[in-house]
Structure 1
Amino acid sequence: MIIDVHAHWGPWFFTMDVAGANLATMDRYGIALSIVSATEAVIYDAPAGNRALAEWLATSERHLGYVTINPRRQADAERDLREYLPTGRFAGVKIHTDYTRSPVSSPQTREALAMVAEAGVPALVHTWGATVLDLAEVCESTPGLRVIAGHMGADGYPYAIEAANACDRLYLEPCYSHAPAGRVSRVAAAVDRTRLLFGTDSTLIDPASAFGAVAAAGLDAETAELIAWRNAVRLFDLDITA
């Protein structure tokens, strides 16, 4: 079984045929469940994208959603968390720090993450380079907060190792548009394997990239299974068994 904790739903801002891509892509790679954010919510308008995603999720049994929040629009974030989390179709929160121009260390993102902690769900937060260290600091200082470092720092994955070892409520997922040799194996050897997840960045990136990176790491069977789905089940409290 495979659970993809970093995926998307909806068209992108460049020419790309994504109609029907979610299920077709999942079937191609054997992904049982994808947790998705609406591209409209991430890039343009969080409330509008969340609303569209909520309507679509009602038609899909193999997807759960992230409520995307813009840290600069706190009132919208509070309203959407109250409206969508109780439906049971949303498993967590998505924050893209770059598109919203809201660095992890900024006051507004700290406030947004405190709101997430109070809601009791995990947050998938975009990280790149050393920003994953900022996420660890905010997580450690926010009681009850659980965060997933999206892209595990990308080219800054050595920082992700430091971050994960500094905060036991920080999780890592590997999707990245490049595939540096040894990236996943180095991370897996250096951090608690119960805090490693699988993410693809589909439909923006073909899942082949993440699958190849994990396969090349040569992980033992138990670690591979934890990454593939067991850790996600525990983190998101999913009612799923193999």
Structure 2
Amino acid sequence: MTIDVHGHVTPPELLKRFPMPPSLGDIDGMVERKAALGITTTVVGSPVGAGTMLPVPGIDNYAQSADSLASFHDWVAETVRERAGRLAGYVYLNPLEGSAAVARAAELLALPEFVGLIVNSSVRGEFLDDPRSDEFFAMAAETGAPVLLHPPAVPVGASSVKAVGAIEHVARPCDITMGVAAILLAGRLRDFPGLKLIAPNAGGALALLAEKLDMAQRRDGVEGPPVSAQLRQIYVDTGTPSVTALRAAAEVFGPDRMLFGTDSPPLATPLDAALGAIAALGLSDEDTAKVLRGNAEQLFGLDSANELRRAS
């Protein structure tokens, strides 16, 4: 029994409007493929709301109306209800948008279909160390909702990278790295101690930068516990094909902070390979069970009782 904390779905009308992978609309196919391998539940959402992760001239993912986002979340909730126990939902918002967006997200979190928040690790080139994110972090800490810090469609530095593949598989993990580092160095975990942050893609390069983060902290005179120690408060998902990166994550973040995630759909990495990468880490049976299910059960409240509650 395995929980995947990182999957994406898209309404049919958006698939018609934007050039996105068709797998984002094949929800039943996704559920069946995962179930065949023992992946029983996937937490799904969109890192762009009613937008698109592929660059489209004239489309600004952060210019969505409240009505369009409400319609999108209505569809996500219905999709989760129709597959109760198989899916759970993320609420999307722009964490720099202000009070109204934060209040709408908090209302959605009160619904049983939604178990977490999904936001971008940077917004229009700005990281979440900006004071405008204070209301968002306060709400996330107060509700206890896990926050998946997903890279945006246009990560920092994308304008300097010409190949789409390099943007997807190099620039976005770098955005995760820099975005989480900015949050830690800004003292967000100190100011909002209830935060539950998830860095996807095994945390980008954070596992390799612990000592460097401490040097940056000392250089800038940032108060608080060493950033390297704060890394143990960050959750990471396993959505990377690199076993080397996963081993580093297990050492730096610890098995108690690792969550099985595939980024599928749309990522086409074979699901059996994603499961095999966890087996290749050589963790104890107890720690392997935590990575595959136990940590997510505890973090998202996805134990059997809650699954039955949502199903009813």
TM-score tier, shorter chain, comes to 0.7 to 0.9
Q: Report the Cα offset of residue 57 of structure 1.
A: 1.6
- What corresponds to 2:40 in structure 1? 32
Q: Judge conservation of contact 1:170–1:195 (CA < 8 Å) in 2.
A: yes
Q: Distance in 2 between matches of 1:85 and 1:144?
A: 16
| 1:142 counterpart residue number | 192
- The one-letter amino acid paired with 2:39 is I
| Partner in structure 1 of residue 121 of structure 2 | 97
Q: Matched residue of 2:115: which SS?
A: strand
Q: How far does residue 56 in structure 1 lie from its aligned partner after superposition?
A: 1.7
Map 1:89-238 → 2, pairs under 5 A: 89-98=113-122, 101-126=125-150, 128-136=176-184, 137-159=187-209, 165-176=229-240, 179-206=241-268, 208=270, 210-238=274-302
Supply the AA of the counterpart residue of 2:22.
Answer: D
Q: Could you say what secondary structure the match of 1:73 adopts?
A: coil
On the 8 A contact 1:69/1:94 being kept in 2, the answer is yes
For 1:51 and 1:164, how far apart are their aligned partners in 2?
40
Which residue in the other structure is 2:54 paired with?
A: none
The corresponding residue for 1:63 is: 87
SS at match of 1:202: coil
Pairwise CA distance, 1:100: 5.5
Look up the match of 1:22.
30
Q: 1:29 to 1:172 in 2, by over 3 A?
A: same
Unaligned runs of 5+ in 2: 52-60, 151-174, 214-226, 306-312
Taking only the aligned residue pairs, the percentage that are identical comes to: 27
SS at match of 2:129: coil
* Worse-matched range after superposition: 41-50 or 18-27: 41-50
CA distance in 2, matches of 1:188, 1:2: 18
* SS of match in other structure, 1:87: coil
**Cα shift readout 1:59-116 (whole Å, capped 9, x = no counterpart):** 111111011111233312312321x222211111111134664412122234312221
User: Counterpart of 2:216?
Assistant: none
Rounded to whole Å, the distance in 1 between the matches of 2:22 and 2:228 is: 36
Deviation at 1:216, TM superposition (A): 3.0
Once residues 157 and 91 of structure 1 are traced to their aligned partners in structure 2, the CA distance between those partners, rounded to angstroms, is 27
Taking structure 1 as reference, are residues 193 and 15 closer, same or farther at Cα in structure 2, changes over 3 Å only? Answer: closer
**1:53 counterpart residue number:** 76
Distance in 1 (alpha carbons) for counterparts of 2:250 and 2:239 = 14
Residues 166, 41 of structure 1: alpha-carbon distance in 2 compared, 3 angstrom cutoff: same
Q: Is 1:140–1:167's contact at 8 Å kept on the other side of the alignment? A: no
Residue type of the partner of 2:101? D
Find the aligned partners of 2:206 and 2:50 in 1 and give their Cα distance.
22
* Rg comparison, structure with higher value: 2
Q: In structure 1, how many angstroms separate the alpha carbons of the residues matched to 2:42 and 2:228? A: 23
CA RMSD between the two structures: 2.7
Q: Secondary structure at the match of 1:238?
A: coil
User: What's the CA shift for 1:231?
Assistant: 0.8
Secondary structure at 1:182 match in 2: helix
Relative to 1, partners in 2 of residues 1:213 and 1:157: Cα closer, same or farther, differing over 3 Å? Answer: farther
Residues 172-229 of structure 1: CA deviation (Å, up to 9, x unaligned): 11213xx345111122133332111111111021353533432332322221111000
- Over 3 Å counting, the alpha-carbon distance change for 1:122 and 1:215 in structure 2 is same
Deviates more, 1:50-59 or 1:86-95: 50-59
The one-letter code matched in structure 2 to 1:41 is G
Q: What is the SS of the residue equivalent to 1:116?
A: helix
Preserved contact between residue 128 and residue 182 of structure 2 (Cα < 8 Å): yes
Task: Quote the Cα distance in structure 2 between the aligned partners of 1:80 and 1:111.
Answer: 12
